Amino acid sequence: MKRWDLSALFESVEALDEALKVCARESVAFKESYAGRLSTLESSAFEKAIGEYENLSDAIGRIMSYAFLVFAEDTQKGDFYAKYELKCNEISEHLLFFEIEFGDLESLKRQEFIQAIPRYAYYLQKIEENKKHTLSLPEERIMLKLDPVGSNAFSRLFDEHLSSLSFKFQGKELSEEEILALLHHPKRSKREKAARSLTKGLAPHQGVLAYILNVVRKENAILCDIRGYATPEESRHIDNQISQKSVDSMLEVVNAEMGIVEEFYDLKREILGYEELYDYDRYAPLGRSKEKIDFESAQKIVLQALGEFSPRFGEIAQRAFDEGWIDSHPRPRKRGGAFSHGTVPSAHPYVLLNHTDGRRDIFTMAHELGHAIHQELSKGVGCLNADTPLTTAETASVFAEMLLFDKMKRSLKPKEKRTLYAGKLEDIFATLFRQSVFTNFERLIHGIKEEIKAEEFNHLWMEENQKMFGKSVTLTQNYASWWSYIPHFVHTPFYCYAYSYGQLLVLALFGLYKRGLPQFEDRYEEFLSLGGSKRPAELVGIFGFDIEDSEFWNIGIAEVRSLLEEFKETVRS
């Protein structure tokens, strides 16, 4: 069992508190040195100022990363996280002037700085472009002060509430991760009982969970009004540095191709010999071989898959296992799900897993290590450029899954291969089609001004999900409330389409890799190492793609269809 070693951030809470004091002093000094003076600076002096700003941003990020990871290890430590969140917001208030003041400079002065400092050019261009949505300094200060008690507070409540729930199953109390894992059990009766247990466990909390989602919706609407966003999702597109047209085009293609999902599940129903397929049958395994993959076995296979593609990727992943980057197994009070938290360039990423020895867990491991590799490689562009928009942030994670899939399928017998293909297609459906359904659902609920009752959330959720399955899967009433445990709806509204975006991008890139595009590995490493220092369109351009071209999305869909045909071959063999 792996646990995090947080000493890469701080050796102790005392060291954390000392860093907080230093950061507070330096932020005050920064404000005294530069507030109200950016317009008077020469380019060399501005370069020094933005370097100091970046160092302070790194220091704040380091403090908040430590506090967040402590909270993720034990969600009962919300008070610890809240303490440092409040302190860091107070420090950030001293830095708030910098981006606002830069955006208010005369156009010629802004361009002078942008052209003189190529390292920060894209970062500064984004500030310039987002100027129309930026408020005055006093207004932004108020927004910052209110941030801890807005939807972020309800996001914390959501995490604490969900992690405290337990679900009764055959005399045991299971966590959310453990009950969800049982939906993949080979016995139909156990899957059905797990589905009922999940619904029954969520039922008493529907009012609270609906209220939390309503608060998120209301805050998003208020921010749209205050900042002048045209739609509830525009701020996410700005963060992702893509156009509304590009997102709409992608969703239109995916929505039009939902028949792929229906075709697969019709075939799966025939293979299983069922007259009717229910929601709890979606992840029924098609074979018994390798049903359980323990953590050590998963580690070995994932390291081999990454290392065979790129020795550097394998080296970074090995460090993750050896140097305390990973928290591996479920525990009481530990946050559910999985993530790779990039922390700051002066440290390293931290990966949270909840490994339960299921087949999907090995792909989750590859997914999160893909993120960690991306985050580690992008450290070189610095704190202000390292974070990638969501649309490209999922590239490395999903690509790592494809590398693992490609390795595993080569060593399997036909029946085992059929099981692997089915699982991979279901993973793609979850990442591509299901996340598009989530986005369609969010568009619906954020388009409603009134408060929405839990029953109405249930109705809209069922309606949108049924479109994906068509007549191939019957959604039971148990499924109706399952919107309420999806964290992205609360943590990051309109996050989910980025998964679809990233999945289609990766499918196209993987096709190029398999066809032997010259210098693919070098191009891919460059793509990841650039982090968020260039626009997604420029990054994808490294491979010769145009993300504004509607045909781009059809390339990815064609890859899904190809996998479906390969799956059919395994059924016939």
Nearest-10 Cα torsion for 257, 263, 269, 271: -130
Whole-prediction pTM:
0.80
Residue 355 in tokens: 């490994």
- Residues 339, 358: Cα–Cα separation, whole Å: 17
Q: What is the pLDDT of residue 288?
A: 63
The tens digit of pLDDT for each residue in 75-94 reads 999 999 999 999 999 999 99
Give the amino acid at 566: E
User: 474 pairs with which residues across the strands?
Assistant: 278
Task: Provide block-wise average pLDDT over 10 residues at a time, the chain (573 residues).
Answer: 97 98 98 97 98 98 98 95 95 96 95 96 92 88 87 91 92 92 94 97 96 96 94 92 86 93 96 96 79 91 98 98 97 93 97 92 96 97 91 90 93 84 90 95 96 97 97 97 95 90 87 88 96 90 80 84 93 82
Averaged pLDDT score across all residues of the chain: 93
Residue 261 in tokens: 């999902």
Asked whether 562 and 261 are in contact (CB, 8 A), the reply is no
Residue 316 in tokens: 């970074």
Q: What is the pLDDT of residue 290?
A: 52
The H or E element that residue 38 is part of is: none
- Residues 246, 288: Cα–Cα separation, whole Å: 42
| Parallel, antiparallel or unpaired: strands 172-174 and 167-169 | antiparallel
Q: What is the pLDDT of residue 329?
A: 96
Q: What is the pLDDT of residue 404?
A: 96
Q: What is the pLDDT of residue 137?
A: 85
- Name all domains of the chain by residue range, CATH numbers in brackets: 13-132 (1.20.140.70), 295-385 (no CATH)
DSSP states of 493-516 as a string? TT-THHHHHHHHHHHHHHHHHHTT
Asked whether 392 and 502 are in contact (CB, 8 A), the reply is yes
